[in-house]
Structure 1
Amino acid sequence: MEGTVNRIPGRRWRRALTALGAAVLASSAVAACGSDGGGTVVNVYYPSEENFEQVVAACNEAAGGRYQVVLNTLPREADGQREQMVRRLAAGDTEMDVLGLDVTWVAEFAEAGWIAEWTGVDKSEVEDGTLPGPLRTARWKDKLYAAPKNTNVQLLWYRDDVTPTPPKSWSEMLSMAEDLRAQGKPSTVLLTGAQYEGLVVQFNTLVGGAGGKILSDDSTKAIVDEGAVEALRALKDLASSPVASASLSNAKEDSIRLDYQKGDAAFMLNWPFVHAAMKEANPELFEHFKWAPYPAIDEDKTGTATIGGFNLAVSEYSRHKPAAFEAVKCLRNAENQKFSAINSGVPPTIEAVYDDPEMAEPYPMREAILAELKKPAPRPITPAYQNVSTLISTILSPPSAIDPQATAQRLREELQDALDSKGVLP
């Protein structure tokens, strides 16, 4: 989930706003199903992102009439986005050119033969300057199938008026929270524990921090090793602690954000969007709202963070592949990534953007984000991720019912069944 940072665009973007009006009119006049009007239409399918229309307008201006990008907004919910694209691609739809894919979908779409490989100069231009972690989410079987547009990692959020020095490990976080509770101070630890992808993210992050694995490197075997057992134990420790939220088993990103804004919690594990949201919702608390790296699972280990975000892929069925590849490179170039970070709150995938002086005010936590992106914990990369994620969230819910060893064994057995099934899930 992304936050929104309002900022006045620069000179180039004021020019782009003028182009945007023309682009909107053009997109309403040109059928999204092709290029019957005579010009090349590049249909981009992407979920709702504030101000992304301005990026599209800027790319249309840069194209100089050689092609026209038409933005088709996908449903807000991830399942709806994936379902729409899967159904159309499974039918060989030629009217989809550029696809906005959650970082967990690239392997599935590549294995199904639905997205085109990036090669030659196009591939080099995407790889140049892109952070290795986000780039890994765009690869499948050592080939590049997408261009990382924006990324995301979770941070530990805390109050410096309650906890001047943030905890560095999971056990230290729980211990500090329990001490605060004994003193009658804000003490709750907020985490996404509902039965959905947010719970999978927490588990995967803890597994990565423990140096463990859920699946083998080639995604053919369910490993769920001792590091994964440590992660299960950590989730159980929180769920059984008096500082766990009463709504832990129903908690999602936005609900824990709202809970934290009330001022009763000590710690929250969430995406950077909460920073701008806190500034608007509770300016007084915002003055003490700070961030730190996601805590390590143990004092002797290094913390890590699960990568989120979106990649842009070119449909294998597109009739305008050269224009589509060019459009993608424009939509995710450094200038446009900076604009989207400043105006829409989505972290860049190009490392140099983090050093831009204009990033300092809207992204004061940019150094922490960049540090986590350099030691990421990608979610299991497999064409069967949808099944893998559903199983993990089901088996780990509610977190209070986790039995580390028994739960790990169940994960091994049921994940292996999912990996052994054939075909792409609808």
Structure 2
Amino acid sequence: MADLELPDRPRGRRPRRRVLLIALFAVVTAVVASVSAWLAADVDERWRAGDVLHLCATGVMLVLAGVLINLLPGAVKEFWRWSGVFAAVAERVIRALRPLKAVGVVVTVLVLGVGGSLLAPAPDTDATALEEGELWLMAGEDLSPSDPRAVLLEQWSQAHPKTPARLVDAAGATDEQRERVLDDARPDGPHRADVDLLDVVWLPEFAGEGHLRELDGSTIGGGTADFLPVVLDTCQDGGKLWALPLNTDVRLLYHRTDVPGLVVPTSWDGHSGSAATRARGGLEAADAPQLAEEMLTVEALEAIWAAGGNVVTRDGEVTLTPAGSRVQFTEDDYEGMRKLNAMARTEGVVPRGVRPEETGAEDALTLFADGRTAFLRNWAVTHRQLTGRQDRPSTTHVGFDSAVQPAPSVLGGQDLAISRHTAKPKAAKALLEFLTSTQSQQILAEVGGFAPSRTSVYELSDSRHLANVRTALKDARPRPRTERYTEFSKLFREAVEKVVAPEDSIPDETARKLADVLRG
């Protein structure tokens, strides 16, 4: 009995050490198996730099895990029965991996690989996920780095590094800007822009010619109820929503506050008519008529409305004869045109050496800022521009304030629309929502002086200037809504310039041409 040997009885090593060795082997096996499964789960369907090394490492770890897992039962047995040197034990463990075990290794590798893939996060198939790649916005002017619109684009890019926003410059005169944006949007154009920044008078043309993607107002982040109705209306055509308003604009009456006795006019004549020559407070001129290109249309419409004319209604509709064959002009319309043309020729209203037909909004601003005129009728953003000039030590400093014009103003502004040809419609829509959000609108108003398009921004502000802007917007009127606005405006200006004397009127042939343009 003393010579009887129990083959399964552990000997030669203390049980505690054998348990530690078995535990160590099991832990190593578990770690290798986990890492291999994690690597398999991390394999991306999109190839990137370093993917080859990643796949090689995954393969090696999967095979190693398969071998260790299949060795584990034999290793536990041999370590527990440990006798002799370690090399002999290791040899017996390896011999346990007979050819049949190779099948087990393969099966284990497949299980780990497939299991890891199943555990991998599902690819992002969210319908709201943004497309990746640069997002191009085409603007009709060159934005300096300090321009709040450029600052907002940079903020977007930092928040969306996979979809950064870039600017396509279409700067130039108003008609040149339109042509450049239009050329890009046409079917045979380069289609560089994903988003177009459009003057409010361009939208019917771009929408009518099929260059824009229609928007669903119910899916707009934050909704559209906060936009001022008169402003949101500029984004619609044919009963459909085509854009969101980046900013609106309206003309205000700027007046000097550092001239004794100067009173804010309560009528069009008070700032631009014969009465203005007596109310200029001893300054060189009362006003600077802006009759260059599109500004002549703006000035003419405001003069017509001030005289009670209604050739363009408050809804932007052009009044036609009952038969619809001609644009209908009334005596009130003609009265406004005559006063406008008289203003351009009146000494004391126009500064010396200034040619109104060559004067635009920027020119008039400079004349006012230089102290030559008592009044300035200009856009809301002018307030910030005048304030900026006051901060420069090298410029003339004039005291000024803004007021609501006595008569309705033309409505201006810029709308953001998605190009029909964009390959990133979801990202483009997200950019529109970002740029027109309440926070972005506040930045545009406070930093850039732009008139915000959201009601909430006016309610959050204690600025008297913004209060004037909001009041003026209530009576502001759009220019004619037509796909051929540029052509209409040019023909309209040519007609207005010829109404000077009391007997002057617009010929029937011209009125017929204007109606033909409206019909397209």
Q: TM-score range by the shorter chain?
A: 0.7 to 0.9
Q: Is 2:504 the partner of 1:396?
A: no
2:295 paired residue among 198, 221, 246: 198
- Residue type at the aligned position of 1:189: D
The percent of aligned pairs where both chains have the same amino acid is 23
SS for the counterpart of 1:168 is coil
Q: Is 2:505 the partner of 1:406?
A: yes
Aligned to 1:268: 376
Q: Distance in 1 between matches of 2:328 and 2:304?
A: 12
SS for the counterpart of 1:228 is helix
- Check whether the contact 2:488–2:514 (CA below 8 A) recurs between aligned residues: yes
1:384 paired residue among 469, 474, 484: 484
Q: Distance in 1 between matches of 2:134 and 2:276?
A: 55
SS for the counterpart of 2:198 is strand
Map 1:348-359 to 2 at 5 A: 348-357=452-461
Aligned to 1:44: 137
- The structure that has the greater radius of gyration is 2
What is the TM-score normalised by the length of structure 2?
0.64
Q: Is 2:426 the partner of 1:322?
A: yes
- Residues 290 and 127 of structure 1, relative CA distance in 2, 3 Å threshold: same
Q: CA deviation at 1:313?
A: 0.4
Q: Is 2:155 the partner of 1:58?
A: yes
- Check whether the contact 1:214–1:228 (CA below 8 A) recurs between aligned residues: no
Q: Distance in 2 between matches of 1:319 and 1:119?
A: 18
- Check whether the contact 2:289–2:344 (CA below 8 A) recurs between aligned residues: no
- Check whether the contact 1:159–1:267 (CA below 8 A) recurs between aligned residues: yes
SS for the counterpart of 1:340 is helix
Aligned to 2:516: 417
- Residue type at the aligned position of 1:416: A
- Residue type at the aligned position of 2:186: A
- Residue type at the aligned position of 1:42: L
Q: What CA deviation, in whole Å up to 9, does each residue of 1:380-416 have, x standing for no partner?
A: 11000010111122333478x4667513756523312
- Residues 74 and 126 of structure 1, relative CA distance in 2, 3 Å threshold: farther
What is the TM-score normalised by the length of structure 1?
0.77
Q: Is 2:219 the partner of 1:122?
A: yes
- Residues 408 and 126 of structure 1, relative CA distance in 2, 3 Å threshold: farther
- Check whether the contact 2:217–2:224 (CA below 8 A) recurs between aligned residues: no
- Check whether the contact 2:319–2:328 (CA below 8 A) recurs between aligned residues: no
- Residue type at the aligned position of 2:424: H
1:110 paired residue among 196, 207, 227: 207
- Residues 89 and 145 of structure 1, relative CA distance in 2, 3 Å threshold: same
Map 1:204-353 to 2 at 5 A: 204-209=301-306, 210=308, 212-214=310-312, 217=317, 222-245=327-350, 246-281=354-389, 286=397, 288-295=399-406, 303-353=407-457
Q: CA deviation at 1:166?
A: 0.8
Give the number of equivalent residue pairs.
Answer: 369
Q: Distance in 2 between matches of 1:138 and 1:404?
A: 40
Q: Which has the higher contact order (CA 8 A, sep 6+)?
A: 1
SS for the counterpart of 1:148 is strand
Q: Is 2:266 the partner of 1:168?
A: yes
Q: CA deviation at 1:189?
A: 1.9
Q: Distance in 1 between matches of 2:356 and 2:182?
A: 32
Q: What CA deviation, in whole Å up to 9, does each residue of 1:238-296 have, x standing for no partner?
A: 2343333152222111111222223232222112343344344457975531222122x
- Residue type at the aligned position of 2:370: K
Q: Distance in 1 between matches of 2:399 and 2:507?
A: 39
- Residues 380 and 218 of structure 1, relative CA distance in 2, 3 Å threshold: closer
SS for the counterpart of 1:365 is helix
Superposition RMSD on alpha carbons, in Å? 2.9
- Check whether the contact 2:487–2:517 (CA below 8 A) recurs between aligned residues: yes
Q: Distance in 1 between matches of 2:495 and 2:317?
A: 22
